[in-house]
Amino acid sequence: MKALLLNNRLTSLSLIVLLWLTAAAVQAQSLPDFTNLVETYSPSVVNISTKQHKTVPGRLNRDFQIPDLPEGSPLNEFFRHFFGEGQGQDEPREYDARSLGSGFIISDDGYIMTNFHVVNGADEILVRLSDRREFIAKVIGMDKTSDIALLKIDATELPKVKIGTTYNLKVGEWVLAIGSPFGFDHSVTAGIVSAKGRSLPNENYVPFIQTDVAINPGNSGGPLFNLEGEVVGINSQIYSRTGGFMGLSFAIPIELAMNVVDQLRTSGEVKRGWLGVMIQDVTRELAKSFGMQYPYGALIAKVVPGSPSEKAGLEVGDVILKYNGTKLESSSMLQHLVGASR
């Protein structure tokens, strides 16, 4: 009887182990494999470092006397830096400020896309490829509103990315980022799409893709890939209370970015549509008062004098339900659609 019970226990244990291994195998098969994608498109991602020449004033106060502090006190360096020490410290000082970012090659003849804030104000832009070659880049054009910049390096037969679309991008879908966080070249991080069409404060024209991909300083300007190896966005911003990654990353949709790049490439500037209204969301109470089944659209709160809206006869209190045939589920959609119009 004891032997029989022992055998039954061994059989049960074996069955549990088998089920656990099977579940682990199924889970492993369901997770995406990014290795081929990284091997294929990592060479298309570049490291961008900039140098900006700056001048700072000399001592803040000529009559200030540095206090007699104990040797080795950290405050000694503080006072020397801001108030100077010895002769000649009243003269302005010059230094080179440096910053890091990422970018990606969109044509084999050297056109590179990155963020406006990565290269804005730079006196020199150095682009380093995955094969360690370095080039001084020329700015073809920049657009602050969309945070897009187009660069050009003197090279040919370069590996380029494959441009995708966000129209079929689904919330919950796997995405991958390649960039240079904190200067660590070609770092790869992955996650999922958390939301689409996100509006951020002071960013009226960009319907951001929100992800939980780990993005940190230096990732800005790098590509966001889908599982097919297509670029669907440009990693641009993070939401953080510490300056580091907190699970909220935002990417510029590739369609908007390519529209900006095409204009920068042909004319060096970007032209956008302008409606000339101030809008707000339609609340549930307002929708009920308008006889709407549920709240959607953009309520006009103000019409700018002389604007296209005034000329078209739009008035305060009107509700815009569609733009160019696209239904406005929220008021922020109107800003994005108008901004994308020529």
Per-residue pLDDT tens for 95-142? 667 778 999 999 999 999 999 999 999 999 999 999 999 999 999 999
Per-residue pLDDT tens for 195-216? 998 888 777 789 999 999 999 9
Q: Structure pTM?
A: 0.75
Assign a CATH topology to domain 43-152: Thrombin, subunit H (2.40.10)
Whole-number Å distance between alpha carbons of 332 and 206: 10
Which CATH superfamily hosts domain 162-258? Answer: Trypsin-like serine proteases (2.40.10.10)
Are 269 and 140 in contact by the 8 Å Cβ rule? The answer is no
Mean pLDDT calculated for residue range 166-180: 96
- Topology alike, domains 43-152 and 162-258: yes
Confidence at residue 169, expressed as pLDDT on a 0 to 100 scale:
96
Confidence at residue 334, expressed as pLDDT on a 0 to 100 scale:
85
* Given the residues 117, 240, 307, 318, the one annotated as active site: 117
* Given the residues 49, 99, 146, 220, the one annotated as active site: 220
How far is Cα of residue 68 from the mean position of the Cα atoms in its chain?
48
Mean pLDDT calculated for residue range 225-243: 91
Q: Is 42 a catalytic residue?
A: no
Confidence at residue 74, expressed as pLDDT on a 0 to 100 scale:
59
Q: How many Cβ atoms from other residues are within 10 Å of residue 259's Cβ? A: 19
How far is Cα of residue 250 from the mean position of the Cα atoms in its chain?
5
Name the more confident of 63 and 164. 164
Name the more confident of 26 and 281. 281
CA distances in angstroms from 89 to 62, 78, 297, listed in the order given = 9, 14, 61
Per-residue pLDDT tens for 77-97? 665 655 555 444 556 667 667
Whole-number Å distance between alpha carbons of 1 and 188: 58
Q: Is 147 a catalytic residue?
A: yes
Name the more confident of 22 and 341. 341
Max CA-CA distance within the chain? Answer: 99
Confidence at residue 342, expressed as pLDDT on a 0 to 100 scale:
73
Per-residue pLDDT tens for 42-53? 999 999 999 887
Token pair listed for 137? 């880049």
For domain 277-340, the CATH class is mainly beta
Confidence at residue 289, expressed as pLDDT on a 0 to 100 scale:
87
Residue with tokens 């790049």: 261
Are 125 and 134 in contact by the 8 Å Cβ rule? The answer is no
**Cβ-proximal residues to 114 (8 Å cutoff; 6+ apart), any chain:** 48, 101, 102, 103, 104, 149, 151, 220, 221, 234
* Given the residues 99, 102, 146, 147, the one annotated as active site: 147
Q: Is 90 a catalytic residue?
A: no
How far is Cα of residue 253 from the mean position of the Cα atoms in its chain?
9
Domain map of the chain by residue range?
43-152, 162-258, 277-340
Are 48 and 183 in contact by the 8 Å Cβ rule? The answer is no
